[in-house]
Amino acid sequence: MERRRTKVSPTLVFPSMQSPILVLYLQHLLRSSIRQIAVAAPKMVSRRTLLVMMATVVVLHRSRTLCAAASAAAAPPATTKQARTPALFVFGDSIVDPGNNNALTTTVRCNFPPYGQDFPGHNATGRFSNGRVPGDIVASRLGIKEHLPAYLGTELSDFDLLTGVSFASGGCGFDPLTAELVSVLTMDNQLDLFKEYKEKLERVAGGAHRAADIVSRSLYMVVTGTDDLANTYFTTPFRRDYDLESYIEFVVQCASDFIKKLYGLGARRINIAGAPPIGCVPSQRTNAGGLDRECVPLYNQAAVVFNAALEKEIKRLNGSDALPASVLQYIDLYTPLLDMIQRPDAYGDLTLARRDAAFSPENHAASTNLSVSVL
């Protein structure tokens, strides 16, 4: 069937930040995070470091909101003490991969210095970051545990199994081809691991009933889709039988199918992140931003169109007849991340220094040598 070719306007369209409390919180957490890595900026040239740091702030804020909303929706009468979130489960790509790729035969790995230089013990655990990733911080702030371990390649204790793990795999996307191109876990592979995990949970939880209760009351994070656009569509020729509009529709349908499958495995409280301004992350500025490494307007606009379609689908599914009692929430990564990039002075001098270090010409050659599958 012939697909209609659609030209997407490069004009940037995005909503303004709505919460002054969020702005203050961003300033606080950004300053504390940047202090840890500003000194290492010339050495720390990972394309993911800046994105992971800022995405952590946004995901953390929205995850706490979702947790509160879901608890309120399922809460018993006010006289009964509200139950704590028992576990956190994470699916997605390198923004939230704490080391699953270490167990895979793939080039998309970061279990070597300078990764992990600010992680406890200064260990390169496989996290695509100098320190913790969003799953770790969300788990800590929810009072679950300090670090969310990878499911693969980790000696998991009973406590780990009872309180949640991450199945995320750096380099994957909602489109299964995205993961296959770089030999990492597809989103369906991650669901298969979750099924395997549930069998282990039944054994350590003392039976199927308690295990099912943990699964239903836990919080779920899904953070992927960026590599579908940045790599599979814009960088390789393998999906060019789609025009951009059709490919976005395909990816959103894959996301919808994933949410339904995750719900079918017992998840009820799920937050799903949209794409960041992919035209402004270092890899895409290097690949398509010209000699000055400018943001790529077309790529950013593609993220805007994808996010709008994804958010619409999430709202359609939330609490629907197809997914009764579900609490689904869309996480907007795009707006605050672009605001940080365009107005770093609003978040403090350290943010400006960190941004300039990340995008400096001195780091250009080093950044181009990193794997193209890692933003």
Position 132 confidence tier, pLDDT thresholds 50, 70, 90: very high
Q: Which pair of tokens denotes residue 163?
A: 């309180």
Instruction: Specify the pLDDT at position 66.
Output: 52
Instruction: Specify the pLDDT at position 239.
Output: 97
Contact between 342 and 335 under an 8 Å Cβ cutoff? The reply is no
CA 357, CA 315: separation in Å to the nearest integer?
39
CA 352, CA 32: separation in Å to the nearest integer?
14
Position 30 confidence tier, pLDDT thresholds 50, 70, 90: very low
Break the chain into its structural domains and give their ranges: 88-357
CA 107, CA 111: separation in Å to the nearest integer?
11
Mean pLDDT of 53-76: 54
CA distances from 132 to 3, 12, 122, 129, 228 (A): 43, 31, 11, 7, 24
Instruction: Specify the pLDDT at position 35.
Output: 41
Instruction: Specify the pLDDT at position 371.
Output: 30
Is residue 94 among the annotated active site residues? yes
Mean pLDDT of 88-105: 97
Selected residue with higher pLDDT from 63 and 234: 234
Position 169 confidence tier, pLDDT thresholds 50, 70, 90: very high
Alpha-carbon torsion (291, 239, 12, 255), positive or negative: negative
CA 290, CA 360: separation in Å to the nearest integer?
14
User: Which of 33, 46, 63, 94 is an active site residue?
Assistant: 94
Instruction: Specify the pLDDT at position 63.
Output: 52
Provide the terminal-to-terminal Cα distance of the chain, rounded to the nearest Å: 33
| Sheet with 327-331, edge to edge strand ranges | 88-92, 219-223, 269-273, 327-331
Residue 155's region, left for phi above 0, alpha for psi from -120 to 50, else beta, is: beta
Residue range 333-354, pLDDT digits in tens = 999 999 988 888 887 765 555 5
Of 303, 351, 247, 374, the residue nearest 23 (C-alpha): 351
Mean pLDDT of 257-274: 98
Q: Which CATH architecture has domain 88-357?
A: 3-Layer(aba) Sandwich (3.40)
**pLDDT at residue 360 above 60?**
no
Contact between 270 and 262 under an 8 Å Cβ cutoff? The reply is yes
**pLDDT at residue 261 above 70?**
yes
**pLDDT at residue 141 above 80?**
yes
Of 110, 122, 103, the residue nearest 52 (C-alpha): 110
CA 29, CA 51: separation in Å to the nearest integer?
14
Instruction: Specify the pLDDT at position 341.
Output: 86
CA 165, CA 160: separation in Å to the nearest integer?
7
Residue range 320-337, pLDDT digits in tens = 999 999 999 999 999 999
Write the single-letter amino acid at 235: T
Average pLDDT, the chain: 81
Of 319, 272, 324, 322, the residue nearest 66 (C-alpha): 272
Q: Which pair of tokens denotes residue 287?
A: 């690949």
